[in-house]
Amino acid sequence: MVLAFGDHRLDIERRELRRGSELTAIEPKVFDLLAFLVQQRHRVVSKDDLLWAVWGGRIVSESALTTRINAARRAVSDDGSAQRLIRTFTRKGIRFVGEVVEIPTPVVADKPSLAVLPFQNMSGDPEQDYFVDGMVEDIITALSRIRWLFVISRSSTFTYKGQGVDVKQVGRELGVRYVLEGSVRKAGSRLRITGQLIDTATDAHLWADRFDGSLEEIFDLQDKVASSVAGVIEPALQVAETTRSANRPTDDLTAYDLYLRARAKFLLSARQIPEALRLLEQAVARDPQYGPALAWAAISCFRLVLDNRSEAPGVDRQKGTEFARRALEEAGDDPGVVANAALALAYFGEDIDAMLALVDRALALNPNFARGWHIAGLLQVWAGRPDVAIGRLDGALRLSPRARIGTSANLLGLAHLFARRFDESVPKLRLAIQDDPSFPAPYRFLAACYAYMGRLDEARETLARLRAITTVVMPDTSHFRRVEHRELLLFGLRLAGGCDDRKTGDEDGRV
């Protein structure tokens, strides 16, 4: 079991404490003390409790105990004055007061499992990183469409970018048997892709090869990498599933380059979405049938409206709807295009059950599609089926165990709120806030939960923190299909003290 709080992860089984991707050095007794406090976070722990749990009942001096407690605080970036996580209660003991989410330790899947790490950019130009990352994402997509292969999503594997990695550690952290790593060299119109497949259990190199060709052959080269890897993992099984139904998403390499640049900007920051949309519109202008570009243009319009960044919401709604409908016409059997178009159309008012059917189709095409499972969970929340949504979101987390947890925690918190499980919603929402304090949605949901729980002081404090980052307190709830859920959220916010705000917005989720 991994216990997550803020940007820290405490792995009880492996006895590791990490902050982000960095391993924190911690003494064995200090680790034991911290683990005990986190596991017993529901109560104040006395000195005698600590002595029995950590030292087996042996007598330990007061100064030695204080030293270990201070060391535990330092390990989690706390201190004796702030006591944000480990709080002292005079004459009673200490308690871990941070919000904790339990994350099941990934186990190796019951079918061949693979993680594709970020490839090295060997072009000598850091500006080409977007191109290399885009190629690797396409290779992940091709591999993930092989039904007998379990493939970890990009959002988890790219957390290792720029790091020297131990493949055995990657295998443990992601629950995979194989790791693919490699490099890309782009020189003018020529490409060279190298790859090597490693068994995480034995550290043995199972396969290595290189693929040379022109830029015009880029999609064929990506598929050759995917097919070669799959053939090594399971030689007896067919790997024709990697073949693109339409051979390539576009014949215009400039459009493809614009698409890769746009995706990189979209993933970098919400502030970059207007520029991403501009690049995607250029790509679509060059190739009006470019399905992935059309779908991401629709998602960009959706996000601009959702985040209150649109200068003309009505225009962006209309554009987003048109992009999404055109994307579906060109989607073929591309699950990413289908799911993204369905998400945008669901937000812009299309029948939610029809859009869920489209996402189910995308998942049937690619059961390894972590983003598809996440979108399915999001739409189930909007549709008013919180328990179904939680199952879908758990599926996304298994395929992407190292992705930022805030977005999923926010949706899980909203699902529990709609199910009126306020006590289960609160820790999820507080974790979402810890993960990204600039994200407004969890503050709203948390304030409503506190209000319904009668914790009005905490509800008002949460609204005060919300007002510090946005003028929008009462959100637009029109995309929530069940009237009782819209009323539940808005009435909770009014109870919390948000009824005087007149501005409304749509910042209820992220994708």
Q: Is there a single domain that holds both residue 6 and residue 57? A: yes
Greatest distance between any 2 Cα atoms in the chain: 76
Last residue of a domain, one of 60, 75, 103: 103
CB 26, CB 15: distance < 8 Å: no
- 356 domain-assigned: yes
Q: Do 409 and 351 share a structural domain?
A: no
Contacts of 196 (CB under 8 A, 6+ apart): 180, 181, 182, 205, 207, 208
* Residue 38 to residue 74: CA distance in whole angstroms: 15
Domain housing 444: 391-511
Confidence of residue 506 (pLDDT cuts 50, 70, 90): very low
Cβ-in-10-Å burial (0-12, 13-18, 19+) of 504 comes to middle
Q: What is the pTM of this model?
A: 0.76
What would the two tokens of residue 448 be? 């409503």
pLDDT the model gives residue 195: 92
**DSSP states of 28-77:** HHHHHHHHHHHHTTTSPBPHHHHHHHHHTT----HHHHHHHHHHHHHHTT
Of 318, 352, 367, which marks where a domain is finished?
367
Helix (H, G, I), strand (E, B) or coil at 230: helix
pLDDT digits 0-9 by tens, 285-342: 999 999 999 999 999 999 999 877 888 999 999 999 999 999 999 998 899 999 999 9
> Which residue type occupies 252?
D
Cβ-count burial of 137 within 10 angstroms (0-12 exposed, 13-18 middle, 19+ buried)?
buried
Residue 118 and residue 207 share a domain: yes
Burial of 418 (0-12, 13-18, 19+ CB in 10 A): buried
Note whether 143 and 50 are same-domain residues.
Answer: no
Same domain as 442, residue 319: no
Residue 265 and residue 195 share a domain = no
First-last CA distance in the chain:
27
Overall number of domains in the chain: 4
Same-domain pairing of 349 and 404: no
Write down the pLDDT at residue 244.
Answer: 47
Per-residue pLDDT tens over the stretch 40-54: 998 999 988 998 889
* Tens-digit pLDDT profile for residues 485-494: 999 999 999 9
Same domain, 268 and 298: yes
* 334 and 409 together in one domain: no
145's tokens: 């469409």
253 and 214, same domain (yes or no): no
List of residues 6+ apart from 378 with CB closer than 8 A? 343, 389, 411, 509, 511
Do residue 186 and residue 260 come from a single domain?
Answer: no
C-alpha neighbours within 13 Å on the C-beta side of residue 236: 1
Q: What is the dihedral sign for C-alpha 202, 397, 404, 264?
A: positive
